[in-house]
Amino acid sequence: MIPVKGYAAQDPKTDLAPWNFERREVGPHDVQFDILFCGVCHSDLHQIKNDWFPGIFPMVPGHEIVGKVVRVGSEVKKFKVGDLAGTGCLVDSCRICENCQQDLEQYCLNGNSQTYNGLEQDRKTPTYGGYSKTIVVHQDFVLHISEKLDLAATAPLLCAGITTYSPLRHWKVGKGHKLAVLGLGGLGHMGVKFGVAFGAEVTVLSTSPAKEKDAKLLGAHHFVVTTDPEQVKAARNSFDFILDTVSGEHDFNMYLSLLRTNGTHICVGVPSKPAEVQAFSLLGGRKSLAGSGIGGLAETQEMLDFCAKHNIVSDIELIDIKDITKAYARMLKGDVRYRFVIDIATL
């Protein structure tokens, strides 16, 4: 076994703190890479607090992981020592179900293995994430990271990036479409970058007028303050798609009124409480309310390659791991532009 230093929550009521644990030895098909940077996702906080479902403790969060390969198994063909590598939200899946066979491992019908707060495919070994020094992952779930991009700012692409890239690609959002991005946080700012890169006319919907300048700097063409009744009224029946990145409670019915006929409201944020949606909000315009998770491994690599070609990374604030609890508190207030990333050298 490989001894590892990490940061863990021992239960839902305690803050993260140093914790030593072990990872498996490198098997024939495994890649071990030392973690250099790990992004801080809003879901990290949700999971350590049991907001969605009972967690597996101790819990080492982190699924936006980038680093450098230090060992490879005897059968590994995709990586060599010294390569830059990354792992996102998944470390394994069944490989045999209909979805896995279509490169949709994120929707594995038999249950994939989440990078943390999950179980390996043996259904008994807990997974531990990227708030740690090193990780061992099957080569099929390790991604190539371009040396062209800032490594720390690349880390959030493994979740925030692919979570917004995947639905925009699935619904073929691009030239001729009017896209609204709801919320300008870790997910939202990536949605803006991708929407603009794909050729859509992008509007940011936000409760905060102060974010208009940043939205325009990110490339957004328009900005709507959703607490201003006149601006909301003017935006009705405007958009082909709304990419909803908000994890707090919000009025879906109001936002559905902003869609054009046949428009689609795509949820990628995960509020803790169920939403109330009136049937008439959907019937009056043949509108769709949809959801999307992360991408599969092939699509995530496609996204990383696209970002390398177009010089797209996240806007980040690099932090010391000892400041993670303060970072969570700031994240809840929206006080981050737009993603915290942990410098694992500080662990």
pLDDT on residue 334: 86
Instruction: Specify burial of residue 247 (Cβ count, 10 A radius: 0-12, 13-18, 19+).
Output: buried
CA–CA gap between residue 244 and residue 133 (Å, rounded): 34
Residue-wise pLDDT for 176-194, tens only, equals: 999 999 999 999 999 999 9
In 3D space, the residue among 41, 76, 79 whose CA is nearest the CA of residue 62 turns out to be 41
pLDDT on residue 273: 87
Residue-wise pLDDT for 215-246, tens only, equals: 999 999 999 999 999 999 999 999 999 999 99
The structural domains of the chain, ordered by start, are 2-159+314-346 (3.90.180.10), 161-291 (3.40.50.720)
Question: Which residues lie closer than 8 Å to 24 by C-beta, 6 or more apart?
Answer: 1, 2, 30, 125, 136
pLDDT-flagged residues of the chain (< 70): none
Parallel, antiparallel, or unpaired: how do β-strands 84-87 and 143-144 relate?
antiparallel
Is the alpha carbon torsion for 340, 267, 11, 33 positive or negative? negative
Nearest-5° Cα angle at 26, 25 to 29: 145
H helices present in the chain, as ranges: 42-48, 98-101, 151-154, 160-170, 186-197, 212-217, 229-235, 252-256, 279-283, 297-310, 324-332
Q: Are 34 and 105 in contact (CB under 8 A)?
A: no
Q: Where do we find the tokens 């896995």?
A: 100
pTM of the model: 0.96
CA–CA gap between residue 242 and residue 124 (Å, rounded): 39
Residue-wise pLDDT for 242-296, tens only, equals: 999 998 899 999 999 999 999 999 999 988 889 999 999 999 999 999 999 999 9
Cβ neighbours, 10 Å, residue 209? 12
Sheet strands (E) in 16-133 = 17-23, 30-39, 65-72, 84-87, 90-92, 113-114
CA–CA gap between residue 146 and residue 306 (Å, rounded): 10
CA–CA gap between residue 57 and residue 14 (Å, rounded): 11
pLDDT on residue 272: 81
